[in-house]
Amino acid sequence: MSDETKTKGPLLDRSDSRVAHTTTFGGAVKAFFDRVRSGDLGSLPVVVGLLVIWTVFTSFNPIFLSSSNLVNMLFDSSTVGVISLGIVCVLMVGEIDLSVGSVSGFASAMLGVLWVNHGWPVWLAILAAVAVGAVFGAVYALLFNRLGMPSFVSTLSGLLAVLGMQLYALNHTGSINLPYGSWVVDFGQTMIMPKIVSYGLALLPGLIMLWAGYSSIKRRSAANLSAPSLTGLLFKAGLITVMIEAIVFYLNQSRGIPWMFGLFAGLVIAMNYAFTRTKWGRSMTAVGGNREAARRSGINVRMIYTSAFVLCSMFASFGGVLAAARLASSSEQAGTGDVNLNAIAAAVIGGTSLFGGRGSSYSALLGIIVIQSISNGLTLLDLSSALRYMITGGVLAVAVIVDSLARKSRVSHGRA
Amino acid sequence: MSVDSHPSPTGEIVLSLRGISKNFGAVSALTDIDLDVHAGEVVALVGDNGAGKSTLVKILSGVHQASSGSITFQGKPVTLPDPKSALSLGIATVFQDLALCENLDVVANIFLGKELNPMRLDEVSMEVRAWTLLSELSARIPNVREAVASLSGGQRQTVAIARSLLLDPKLILLDEPTAALGVAQTAEVLDLIERVRDRGLGVVMISHNMEDVRAVADRIVVLRLGRNNGIFYPDASNAELVSAITGASNNSVSRRAGRRSTQSQAGTSL
Ligand SMILES: Nc1ncnc2c1ncn2[C@@H]1O[C@H](COP(=O)(O)OP(=O)(O)OP(=O)(O)O)[C@@H](O)[C@H]1O
Ligand SMILES: [Mg+2]
């Protein structure tokens, strides 16, 4: 075992002869299949599901995959997608927030009342709505941390209470129309990236990937650790860039990429960084995986729960503001109906586990596209909302079943 | 001078417990426990199942709070309301149930709560440090980027031990650290305990393996049914230890042992 090499010796992480290290492309493919078989599905089910859904709907109605319909879908995805990003936060620590729909509805009511009725500057109204959302989250956290109230109960009562507040706020006026021509409504309905900007932004993920990957390779080999190959990195970054640019090109055939979707994607990327590259994200994952172990490691578990609930409610409020902009109104219906279910379903469908400790902000993005595809496709088919509800409910059930089965399989294959 | 063949340890007292009691509802897990740990000393804590050893360790690591009694750490009275305060005092613990996050990889577990560079995790330095710690323990861990869920019991134990060494603690509490380890790894952990002691740290080790205990302990503290039941030295006979642990008989051996231990504790001779 001990080979007395004059140089640096074996790589630190390659000294164990029992591990098969995949260096070839074929090996990487095989490792991928092994991972999937053991229940480490990642985003595979969503991608497969999405392909199936798109194939079915396009065969019924070719308009479904048309550029302009997809652009519409991006507008619609962004509002609930932002809410779903908050759901990822609470699911990460193994809790749930059932009140995001009501919280988003109340935020949209606040926007209308404060901005239109009371003449506040619009940015202040938005800020106030999001701040009030933070207060709701803080209340849930307090009930959870201090009184041990299960989050599904506290947020279920929050669902009703906040809905009541929304109805009360709009009591005298009914729905409030937001002024057309204001930048808020433009942002929600018409603001599209200039083509050149959209192509430029589409380069970013690949470039960031290259830069981060390259500096990691350099640092790892300097530290005598195995490093992934540069060719593989170039290949991956190139593939991603080509794919995104192709999508952007297709969407640019009609209206183009909505700024609102750009904002949503930016939030997704920022949250992904926070989850994977910061101490806070690591603590969130740890608390979701094993709360007691996290506590014994000196993590302030209550703070972590509080941050999860507060962030969730803030994203819900912000999503509500975006929804109001999208509809150009603050109504009593905002945030009711399927908003709640869609936001939660999107996170779960995208691959964030209901059992805590596993998830990614990208699941909000992928999941909401699935949900939006279904609802949009069913609308194109002229199906009633009764059927839409049933089908969306069924899809959520399937997603949760996949989650549970994958978890079982991970346990038996020794992957948490 | 004392004719006692066991000179009292030279190092200053790191940890001193007086009258520690702990009740879980109607169960008194610990009653009136006294314990001293010096710098550069290995204290073995032995006792039967349910004697209260783990409970004592959990009190010292801030997991549980004592119902009564006082804790002095490095000469200052302290309270340990949560694990964070124990960690920041320099008390590191390997728990019997290990307390690892199965969904995180080995590096993340070792550095949990003390990650390098909180706003932009320094994964490379953490991984290098993890490999260094693990190789000091002759760990047989194939891949530190694998989730802990995929490790064997002994590998997990090694990870837990590596984690306790990360932040140069002043006192290390090891709750059955060798219970799941192989021959080589056990020897490595015992070596490590000696190295840590020689660096002047206090070590409290819980073990049911008398051979291991004798091999490294400077003193052996026996708990029985949640009470102090004598202090022994590695040269005590098996019979003495066993009867103190089991309380099988109130025989002359155990009486003698008890007498001897109280004398040496008081530092006087007959
Ligand atoms: N969280 C708890 N709640 C209630 N009782 C407890 C708790 N933890 C420990 N006990 C009780 O305290 C007593 C001592 O338990 P402890 O775990 O300290 O024993 P131990 O000496 O570590 O035993 P072992 O050698 O089996 O590890 C036992 O009777 C146990 O039932
Ligand atoms: Mg124990």
ipTM reported for the complex, 2 dp? 0.89
Output A246 or A25, whichever has higher pLDDT: A246
pLDDT at A260 over 90: yes
Residue B250: band (very low, low, confident or very high) from pLDDT cuts 50, 70, 90: low
Ordered alpha helix ranges (H), A223-338: 230-251, 259-277, 279-289, 291-296, 301-327
- Across the interface, whether the CB atoms of B140 and A16 are under 8 A apart is answered yes
Number of residues that this document lists for chain A: 416
Which residue in B65, B104, B145, B151 has the most chain A C-beta atoms within 10 A of its own C-beta, making it the best mutation to test that interface? B104
Instruction: Average the pLDDT over A334-343 and give the result.
Output: 89
Instruction: Average the pLDDT over A163-179 and give the result.
Output: 92
Contacts of A18 in chain B (CB under 8 A): 142
Residue B55 Cα to ligand 1 midpoint, Å, equals: 6
Cβ atoms of residues A312 and A90 within 8 Å: yes
Instruction: Average the pLDDT over B17-44 and give the result.
Output: 95
- Across the interface, whether the CB atoms of B103 and A358 are under 8 A apart is answered yes
Q: By CA distance, what is A297's nearest residue in B?
A: B113
The predicted pLDDT at position A388 comes to: 80
Nearest listed ligand to the Cα of residue B25 = 1
pLDDT at A407 over 90: no
Number of residues that this document lists for chain B: 270
Contacts of A279 in chain B (CB under 8 A): 115, 118-119, 121
Q: Is B81 on the interface with A (CB under 8 A)?
A: no
Cα B86 to its chain centre, rounded Å, is: 14
CA–CA min distance B101, chain A (Å): 5
Name every residue whose Cβ is closer than 8 Å to that of residue B106 and which is 6 or more positions away in sequence: B130, B134, B141, B143, B144, B145, B146, B148, B151, B159
d(CA A393, CA B54): 48
Cβ atoms of residues B67 and B56 within 8 Å: no
Instruction: Average the pLDDT over A241-267 and give the result.
Output: 96
Report the DSSP pairing between strands B13-24 and B27-38: antiparallel
- Angle ∠(A7,A10,A11) on CA atoms, nearest 5: 110
Q: Is B101 on the interface with A (CB under 8 A)?
A: yes
- Across the interface, whether the CB atoms of B112 and A293 are under 8 A apart is answered yes
Give the tokens for residue B6: 């066991």
pLDDT at B258 over 90: no
Which residue in B112, B146, B173 has the most chain A C-beta atoms within 10 A of its own C-beta, making it the best mutation to test that interface? B112
Q: Is B110 on the interface with A (CB under 8 A)?
A: no
Residue B2: band (very low, low, confident or very high) from pLDDT cuts 50, 70, 90: very low
Instruction: Average the pLDDT over B197-201 and give the result.
Output: 89
Q: By CA distance, what is A225's nearest residue in B?
A: B128
pLDDT at A349 over 80: yes
The predicted pLDDT at position B243 comes to: 86
Residue A340 Cα to ligand 1 midpoint, Å, equals: 44
Q: Which tens digits make up the pLDDT trace of A94-138?
A: 999 999 999 999 999 999 999 999 999 999 999 999 999 999 999
- Across the interface, whether the CB atoms of B108 and A278 are under 8 A apart is answered no
The predicted pLDDT at position B3 comes to: 41
Cα B58 to its chain centre, rounded Å, is: 10
- Across the interface, whether the CB atoms of B103 and A283 are under 8 A apart is answered no
Residue B47 Cα to ligand 1 midpoint, Å, equals: 12
B78 bridge partner residues? B71
Residue B94: band (very low, low, confident or very high) from pLDDT cuts 50, 70, 90: very high
Q: Whose CA is nearest to atom 4 of ligand 1?
A: B24
Query: Over the range B89-125, which residues count as b (16 or more CB within 10 Å of their CB) and which as e?
Result: bbbbbbbbebbbbbbbbbbbbbbbbbbeeeeebbbbe
Q: Which tens digits make up the pLDDT trace of B140-168?
A: 888 899 899 988 888 898 999 999 999 88
Contacts of A298 in chain B (CB under 8 A): 83-84, 87-88, 113-114
Residue B175 Cα to ligand 1 midpoint, Å, equals: 12
- Across the interface, whether the CB atoms of A16 and B108 are under 8 A apart is answered no
User: Model-level pTM?
Assistant: 0.90
Which residue in A1, A91, A93, A279 has the most chain B C-beta atoms within 10 A of its own C-beta, making it the best mutation to test that interface? A279
What percent of chain A clears pLDDT 70, i.e. is strictly above it? 92
The predicted pLDDT at position A125 comes to: 97
The predicted pLDDT at position A1 comes to: 37
pLDDT at A216 over 60: yes
- Across the interface, whether the CB atoms of A286 and B108 are under 8 A apart is answered yes
pLDDT at B62 over 80: yes
Computed over every residue of chain A, the mean pLDDT equals 89
Atom of ligand 1 nearest to the CA of B223: 21
Query: Over the range B190-225, which residues count as b (16 or more CB within 10 Å of their CB) and which as e?
Result: bebbeebbeeebbbbbbbeebebbbbbbbbbbbbbe
d(CA B172, CA B87): 10
Atom of ligand 1 nearest to the CA of B58: 18
Q: Which tens digits make up the pLDDT trace of B107-139?
A: 999 999 999 999 999 999 999 999 999 988 888
Q: By CA distance, what is A291's nearest residue in B?
A: B101
Our mutation pick for probing the ligand 1 site, out of B21, B30, B53, B55, counting the most ligand atoms within 8 A of Cβ, is B55
The rounded radius of gyration (Å) of the Cα atoms in chain A is 23
Q: Give the Å distances, CA to CA, from A189 to A80, A329, A365, A370.
A: 15, 12, 20, 21
Question: Mean pLDDT lowest for which of A163-167, A383-387, B207-211?
Answer: A383-387
Q: Which tens digits make up the pLDDT trace of A273-293?
A: 999 999 999 999 999 999 999
Which residue in A221, A284, A297, A360 has the most chain B C-beta atoms within 10 A of its own C-beta, making it the best mutation to test that interface? A297
pLDDT at A254 over 80: yes
The single residue listed with the structure tokens 């430029």 is: A200
The predicted pLDDT at position A2 comes to: 39
Atom of ligand 1 nearest to the CA of B64: 1
Size of the A and B interface in Cβ pairs below 8 Å: 118
Residues 289-318 of A with CB under 8 A from B: 289-290, 292-300
Q: Is B113 on the interface with A (CB under 8 A)?
A: yes
The predicted pLDDT at position B268 comes to: 45
Contacts of B88 in chain A (CB under 8 A): 298
- Across the interface, whether the CB atoms of B84 and A300 are under 8 A apart is answered yes
